[in-house]
Amino acid sequence: MTGIQAKRRSIVLALLCVALGGALLRQLSEPGSTARDVGTLLMLLWLPIIGNVIAWLIAKVRRPVAAEPAGFESGSTFRPHALVEFTMRTPQLPSEDSPVLEGEHRCILVVDNEGFSARWIVAPGQAFRRGTVQTFQVEFLKPAIALQRFQRDKAFRMLVAESFVGEGRVLGLLG
């Protein structure tokens, strides 16, 4: 539970306690007394929370389940479509300056304002430091669409998660 969720929960519980206290005060007070009117007002403090809970439930029911994003099938054969060179940016914190290790790496290659899912592989036993120019073969998830935009010498940016982590250019297209 995040901090905001914990605060919201405590506010809801506090207002519920105030409303229950108001109901108890109203029940024990004489009809027409000021104490009974105060009890009624304390009970009314609960109404905005009820409205928020109902709105949250309606949004939850109407919200469609997010579809799993399309991606490369795990264990599928790597079929390169382009040869690219890129330089990954060095991190701002020296403690995060670790080498890029062997294995499959996925990213989005961005040309102008269009992004294309891609993957590239660092060979076993190989690793490299960020900030150095590297040459790799990349495979696109949708090559029929991507290859139209990735012509020789076309510049691109590399997006991983929500951050641009590098820049590069296309050296050539493969078979």
Q: Is residue 42 part of a domain?
A: yes
pLDDT for 26? 92
- List residues bridging with 170 in a β-sheet: 84
pLDDT for 119? 94
Q: Is residue 77 part of a domain?
A: no
Comparison of pLDDT for 59 and 155, the residue scoring more: 155
Q: Is residue 31 part of a domain?
A: yes
Instruction: Report which of 56, 107, 66, 71 is spatially closest to residue 86, judged by C-alpha positions.
Output: 107
Could you tell me the residue range of the domain that residue 15 belongs to? 3-62
Q: Is residue 70 part of a domain?
A: no
- Do both 166 and 89 map to the same domain? yes
pLDDT for 67? 54
Q: If you write DSSP's letter for every residue of the chain in order, what string do you get?
A: --HHHHHHHHHHHHHHHHHHHHHHHHHHSPTT-HHHHHHHHHHHTTHHHHHHHHHHHHHHHHSPPPPPPP-PPTTPPP---EEEEEEEPPPSSGGG--PBPSEEEEEEEEETTEEEEEEEEEPTT--B-TTSEEEEEEEESSHHHHHHH--TT-EEEEEETTEEEEEEEEEEE--
Q: What pLDDT, in 10s, does the model give residues 125-137?
A: 899 999 999 999 9
Q: What pLDDT, in 10s, does the model give residues 75-95?
A: 789 999 999 999 999 988 888
Averaged pLDDT score across all residues of the chain: 88
Q: Is residue 69 part of a domain?
A: no
Q: Is residue 67 part of a domain?
A: no
How many CB atoms neighbour CB 169 within 10 A?
14
Q: Is residue 74 part of a domain?
A: no
Please identify, among 62, 97, 113, the residue that sits at the C-terminal boundary of a domain: 62
pLDDT for 68? 54
The CATH number linked to 111 is 2.40.30.10
Count up the domains in the chain and report the number: 2
- Do both 16 and 97 map to the same domain? no
Q: Is residue 19 part of a domain?
A: yes
